[in-house]
Structure 1
Amino acid sequence: MAPKVLMVAEKPSIALSIASALSGGRMSTRKGSTDVHEFEGVFQGSHAFFKVTSVIGHVLSVDFPPAYQNWEGTDPMDLFSAPVLRSECNPKAHIRRHLAQEARGCTYLVLWLDCDREGENICYEVIDCTGIPENEVGRRIFRAKFSSVTEKDILDAMNNLVLPNKDEALAVDARQEIDLKVGVAFTRFQTRYFQGKYGNLDARVISYGPCQTPTLGFCVQRYQQITTFKPEKFWSLKTYVIKDGNEIQLEWDRKKLFDFDVTVMFQKMVASDGILKVTDISVKEECKARPSGLNTVNLLKVASSALGIGPQTAMHLAERLYTQGFISYPRTESTAYPSSFDFRSALAALVHNPLWTNDVRALLDAGFVKPKQGHDAGDHPPITPMRLATEETLGTDAWRLYQYICQHFIGTVSPDCRYMRTSIEFASGGEAFHCVGYRVISKGFTSIMPWLAVSENNIPAFKKGDTVSIHKVDIYEGSTSPPDYLSESELISLMEKNGIGTDASIPVHVNNICERNYVQCYSPPFEGIDKLFGALKLDDTGKVGKGAGMPCFLCLHPTSQLFDMPLL
């Protein structure tokens, strides 16, 4: 009798992709807790009968025994030494029975869970549910490693099965237990402490989390910087000359001073001289480097700051694009591509989209450049488009995210942007001024990523030793201003820098502090936004907004009275 092979994926859509690729589409499907796809094929050189099914994320969850569930009857300190139980996630209890039933009579188990630590942990949850002993790893239990659900990647993974990683699975077990004990203990403690003292708190439960709390802390820190900020006046010289009929404003090397009388003194010195002398001219070619590969954190930051898509929504969209086979695995810390990556095939898959067909054809014909060296975290390649899609197929927001992923990838294999930088130094009355001009020589990657283009700024020709009359010298008065509330993009950067959360959990932590009403999101008026972010496209009404794909400021600021309370 032919051996039976049970293969388990993390989501039903991935199970369908795996079965379709391995069976060539010749399979039958029956309903179960999750669909089961069946077909015949070859496994380890022998004819075999395959069953492909899936879980829906984690099968098991951790919690305290019933004796520790009573808030009043349990001291929060006791929770740190309390035992923990692993049981079926309530909505998914049927998955355990489903796996046990499908594993009956199966000789082999092949695990197709997502290739990260959480995936390794779910591997061992699946092993536990099937009843196949762990000591069969390498003999009857195998692990498939893949970064996308294209047919090529699935076939490659099937031909190069490895072993599940027990150490990574145990690391997740430890993290789950720590999160449970720390989170529940401190949540109970501070809820009881604060609710007894402040009756009008806007929360019944004041939650604590090892990642949630420092995430909130960044917002509170910015809030305190804003509320304690004291503005200070400053003054600067604005010097103008007329050359070839054009008025040019020169930048003062001192930038600004915080003493008005001293600024007036410098103004009089320059005005009394009345002449600016060219002291130095520097002309050199510079380049703006193409980007490295796209990782999860950078995708989330761009989605929030430029596309107006919050990090949790962006992650859901990216996961859907992955399960549908349009992009590679979206949870990755790496920005470096492996040396074996097939860039030509990835480019060829995009060539027929009219939005970038000219750029792609030019790269395929003239030769693309390999992306600059990035960070290799040893997990997955950077997020990469795997096949062509249309807006009609994906829907508006998923298409915008997919479009950015495509443009970023094309940018990584495009030449650097090259430009000439001309700097002219002037002197008058003992003070130094300058102006800078830019002229693009080759657009390079900014052809496909125009929002990163170098803004050309042509300045008239001067020669060293030239003199020019000063048209006017004005004093500009300004005032220092506090920082703005944290944007989601800034918050994600701070979390990454300080090691708070993972590429997969960062969106969850940001969403939690919003849903629990510790912070609230708001979008400031778009007036003057073009001065901050450069030239922006407008919609049909001439306004900037999410529909036009413009920056959406989802800024976070504390709302709870806890932030003004004294420390314990």
Structure 2
Amino acid sequence: MRQLQRFFRSPTTVCVAAEGHLLSAEEPGSIRPEWKPWRFEALPIVLDTIPVSHGTNRSGQSHAPKIASIRQALSGVDRVIIATDPGREGSMIAWEVLEHLGWRGRVDRLKLGALDDVSIRRAFAALAKEPGSGERDYAAYLEALCRQYEDYHLGLNGTRAISLRLRPPAFGEPWRFGGVQTPTLAILADLEARIRSFVPQDFFKVALHLGTRSGAELVLWHAPKERIFDPAVAETIRAAAATWSGPLAVEHKDVRRAPPRLFSKDTLARRCAKWFGWDPQHTAGLAQELYDQGYLSYPRTESEYLPDGQAGDAAAVMTAVVSVLTDLRSVIPGTEAPLIRRGAKGHYVKDPGEHHAIVPLRKVPERGRLSADQFRLWELVAKAYLAAHLPDGIDARTSVAAEVGTPLGTKRFAVSGSVIRAPGWRAIYGSEADLETDAVPGKAKRDAEATSARLPAVDDGEGASATKAGVATAMTEPPRRISRGELPVVMGRLIDQVDDPAVKRALENPVNPNEPKGLGTAATRDTILPKLLKSRYVTLSSGKDPAIAVTEVGLAFITAVRRVFPAYGDPVGRAMFEAELAEIGRAATRAEAVDRANAFRQRTRARLDELIAAIADSPVVSLDPSLIPPGQADNRPPTSAMMSFAVSLAERKGVTLPRGCKSSISICRSFLDTHAGPRVPQTDSAGEPRDRRIPSAAMLRYARSLAEQRGVPCPPETETDFDACRRFLDAHVPQPQERPGAGNPGARKGKAPVDRGKRRGRVAGKPRQAAARRQA
């Protein structure tokens, strides 16, 4: 708002700001009281529209005053310009307020790709040429609204239904379900299954040691793409190579290395995770801060390209960048124009998508005005922009090869080496330039071509003969786990995870080939991993960019989902579904968008009916309690009361305590939940299941004492459930007239071992003694 206010001098123009989403969806229990408890019979819970109320900011303050200020600003206005962040989410932030306040006037949409002066003026110029911008933006709002509609209903109904009917008794938390997070877990689970089932195999490479006519010595390798797994085959090739002699084929050629692509939100997060160890959400937050200050273009983008129309900005932006990164001035040619690469293999295309790649702007920061992390991120993006406009790097590559005849046919032995002839764009990075190429996440490492740091001088056709030959043994490696920084890239580029050509074609995006169909949106992909971690479906390893492993809980969950309703465990199917959802935002008119949105809601309701019906008759999933990973607060040991009850329960039922039962309260609780019988479901204030509160040791001692005095059994649930223990005490604790000395003010007071502060509604401990003294 402050950036835009500088452009308005007229008193009839009012600028007013939102603060994220000012309205929030109502919880089911606040809509209907009967929806607050978790009951399978009440499902599916379906609403035509989701009621909203005033949200709160991070400090817990209501957004009602902001809504009121916008209402006041709209009074007497004949035109509204929406200038929130470009994209579905920004459109929804504005339109949901206008709809809530009943605005029916003219609406235009200002699409800001950046907040520097030049970009703002260009955005207003584009707005003047687009009279129907508000109508088209309403379609984007409806797409976002439909995404919220599906997320709300799937999370609400799916989580409740699966938790009530399928969740293992040993797992005390909800089995959280979501339209995007569940197929994302499926990708990770499929990879986990491949890793666990992987059986390493030995394979063989054949080395040929040569001496040339000129006296040079070198080693060539036979390591074909189709690996050699049969040792007899390797030995046959080795034996033939050991007696080889003949001419060498030497090739010298220049290899051009083009600069890498510019950054999208996901590839920027991946690079920052790899180089700096940052969580993707931390990277996204820094990029947003730099965008707000006018130093970077809009950061929540899926594109790695720039529009052709911005090619003319390159010289001015590069000059601005090197005014800050002064050590790079010598790398930038002062008289030559920046190199502009066009097309899919370059950096400039006709249509880069809804938002172009993340790039620096003419407005550059002062080092002292940014935090260390903010500057590192700006510098990373700025260097990528500089590299994109510099010449290719050129390597002088030499390869030496020999064709060896064997009983199995002619086999090629080769080795290569290269030296940098012209660094080109790599001068920007220095030694970091070798890190620019990234492997495909979730795939096994490819075998590198045999290389030598230094090759001797050998002429093409020079004669050589074998001095010896040998067989080297290597071992196949399992696929790499996807790392925290790579997950958003995997979700956005699902096409790289599949091998079936037909599926790859299905995932292509004919509207924008540079952005294939994927899971979620650029703005929401970073939020999926924290949800999976919270549900204990996955864990993170150690390291700068930790790998993601799927737990037994996550594997059991995705197996249950695929058994009951396979469509929700299919990542490719979900990507196709989201592509259909995106068609709502592409509607040419408001009426067309409304029709598409209504059809989508009907489909969502039908899928909910199918989901609940499929879950209704499905059996509960069984899961060994010892396989449940500890939660953030479950690494403490169990209480002595829990442990003594677990030991007695194991002896009575003739079972063995699970591993970790004595050191982990979660494992101990899971064992008790499994073997102590069913418990009464408990809910919190929002109606969601919560873990039981464990009674204190003092409460348990008193409960056992009362049971012995009264000659009644102490129910097993009193050992693990605070409320059950309290109910037992309330039912059997002696009343005042039953206590020795009751009614005799001078009698010595007994010291019943009541747990102070735990017994609600009764006077216990010192307060009771004080009352007795006052009576005396």
| 1:110 aligns to 2:76 (yes or no) | no
Partner of 1:479: 475
Q: 1:188 to 1:278 in 2, by over 3 A?
A: farther
Report the Cα distance in structure 2 between the residues aligned to 1:514 and 1:242, rounded to whole angstroms: 58
CA contact (8 A) 1:80 1:181 kept: yes
SS at match of 2:250: strand
> AA paired with 1:481?
E
CA contact under 8 A between 1:391 and 1:399: conserved in structure 2?
Answer: yes
Which digits, 9 at most, give the CA deviation of each residue in 1:249-292, with x for residues without a partner? Answer: 32214464212233223222222x1x443343333333122233
Match of 1:452 among 429, 433, 444: 433
Aligned mates of 1:399, 1:76 — CA distance in 2: 53
| Pairwise CA distance, 1:57 | 1.1
CA contact (8 A) 1:240 1:249 kept: yes
Shift of 1:348: 1.8
Contact 2:251–2:399 (CA under 8 A) maintained in structure 1: yes
Q: Distance in 2 between matches of 1:121 and 1:182?
A: 20
Equivalences for residues 218-367 of structure 1 within 5 A? 218-241=187-210, 248-254=218-224, 256-271=227-242, 273=243, 275-341=244-310, 342-354=313-325, 356-358=327-329, 361-362=332-333, 364-367=334-337
Matched, 1:211 2:180: yes
CA RMSD in angstroms, aligned pairs only: 2.8
**Alignment-mate amino acid for residue 432 of structure 1:** R
**Inter-CA distance 469–181: structure 2 relative to 1 (3 Å threshold):** same
- 2-structure distance, mates of 1:280, 1:152: 57
**Number of residues of Structure 1 aligned to a counterpart in Structure 2:** 493
TM-aligned CA deviation for residue 359 of structure 1: 5.1
CA distance in 2, matches of 1:334, 1:253: 38
Deviation at 1:187, TM superposition (A): 0.7
Task: Give the Cα separation in 2 of the matches to 1:230 and 1:400.
Answer: 42
Equivalent position to 1:182, from 154, 172, 195: 154
- Which residue number in structure 1 is paired with residue 673 of structure 2? none
Give the direction of change, closer, same or farther, for the CA distance of 1:261–1:378 in structure 2 (3 Å limit): closer
Cα deviation digits, residues 506-550 of structure 1 (max 9, x gap): 1111232223332122235xxxxxxxxxxxxxxxxxxxxxxxxxx
Overall identity of the aligned pairs, in %: 22
| Structure 1 residue 143 displacement after superposition | 2.5
Of residues 513, 538, 545, the one that matches 2:532 is 513
Report the structure number with the largest CA radius of gyration.
Answer: 2
Partners of 2:232 and 2:189 in 1: how far apart?
Answer: 38
SS at match of 2:299: coil
Equivalent residue letter for 1:436: S
Distance 2:414 2:78 in 1: 77
**What CA deviation, in whole Å up to 9, does each residue of 1:181-220 have, x standing for no partner?**
112111111112244x331x2x612111111111111221
Aligned to 2:375: 399
Residue 353 of structure 1: CA displacement? 2.5
Task: Say whether the 8 Å CA contact 1:292–1:373 is kept in structure 2.
Answer: no
Where in structure 2 are there 5+ consecutive unaligned residues? 437-450, 495-517, 564-776
Q: Structure 1 pair 189/323, CA: closer, same or farther in 2 (3 Å)? A: same
* Secondary structure of 2:15 counterpart: strand
> 1:192 corresponds to which residue?
164
1:349-498 correspondence runs (5 A): 349-354=320-325, 356-358=327-329, 361-362=332-333, 364-374=334-344, 376-386=351-361, 387-428=363-404, 430=406, 431-450=411-430, 451-453=432-434, 457-498=453-494
Note closer, same or farther for the CA distance 1:266–1:149 as it changes in structure 2 (3 Å cut).
same
SS at the partner of 2:308? coil
Conservation of the 8 A alpha-carbon contact between 1:522 and 1:555: yes
Instruction: Please give the secondary structure, in 1, of the residue aligned with 2:335.
Output: helix
Structure 1, unpaired ranges of 5+: 1-14, 24-40, 43-47, 525-551
Which structure shows the higher helix fraction? 2
Q: Are 1:420 and 1:440, in contact at CA under 8 Å, matched by a contact in 2?
A: yes
Instruction: Tell whether the 8 Å contact from 2:249 to 2:460 is kept in structure 1 after alignment.
Output: yes
Distance 1:372 1:380 in 2: 17
CA distance in 2, matches of 1:144, 1:490: 33
Distance of 2:485 and 2:219 partners within structure 1: 34
Distance 1:402 1:456, change over 3 A: farther
Q: What secondary structure, in the 3-state scheme, does the structure 1 residue paired with 2:309 have?
A: coil
- Write the letter of the residue equivalent to 2:158: F
2 CA distance for matches of 1:54 and 1:99? 8
CA distance in structure 2 between the aligned counterparts of 1:53 and 1:252, rounded to whole angstroms? 69
Deviations 1:4-45 (A, max 9, x none): xxxxxxxxxxx22222x326xxxxxxxxxxxxxxxxx14xxx
- Structure 1 runs of 4+ off > 6 angstroms? 243-246
Match of 1:17 in 2: 3
Contact 1:350 1:360 in 2 (8 A): no
CA distance in 2, matches of 1:338, 1:420: 33
Cα distance in 1 for residues equivalent to 2:397 and 2:535: 50
User: How far apart, CA to CA, are the structure 2 residues paired with 1:267 and 1:234?
Assistant: 14
User: Contact 2:40–2:161 (CA<8 Å) still a contact in 1?
Assistant: no
Say whether 1:123 aligns with 2:114. no
Find 2:111's aligned residue among 145, 148, 152.
145
Find the aligned partners of 2:156 and 2:217 in 1 and give their Cα distance.
66
Q: Do the aligned residues in 1 keep the contact of 2:40 with 2:160 (CA within 8 Å)?
A: no
How far, CA to CA, are the matches of 2:342 and 2:394 in structure 1? 16
Q: Which has the higher strand share?
A: 1
Aligned-partner Cα distance in 2 for 1:557–1:434: 39
Change (3 A) 1:176 1:355: same
Q: Which amino acid aligns with 1:259?
A: D
Shift of 1:369: 0.8
Query: Is 80-89 or 338-347 further displaced after alignment?
Result: 80-89
2:40 and 2:550 map into 1 onto residues whose CA distance is 31
SS in 2 for 1:286: strand
Give me the TM-score of the superposition, normalised by structure 2.
0.59
**Contact kept? 2:248, 2:464, Cα under 8 Å:** no
CA contact (8 A) 2:315 2:337 kept: no
Give the C-alpha shift of residue 395 in structure 1: 2.0
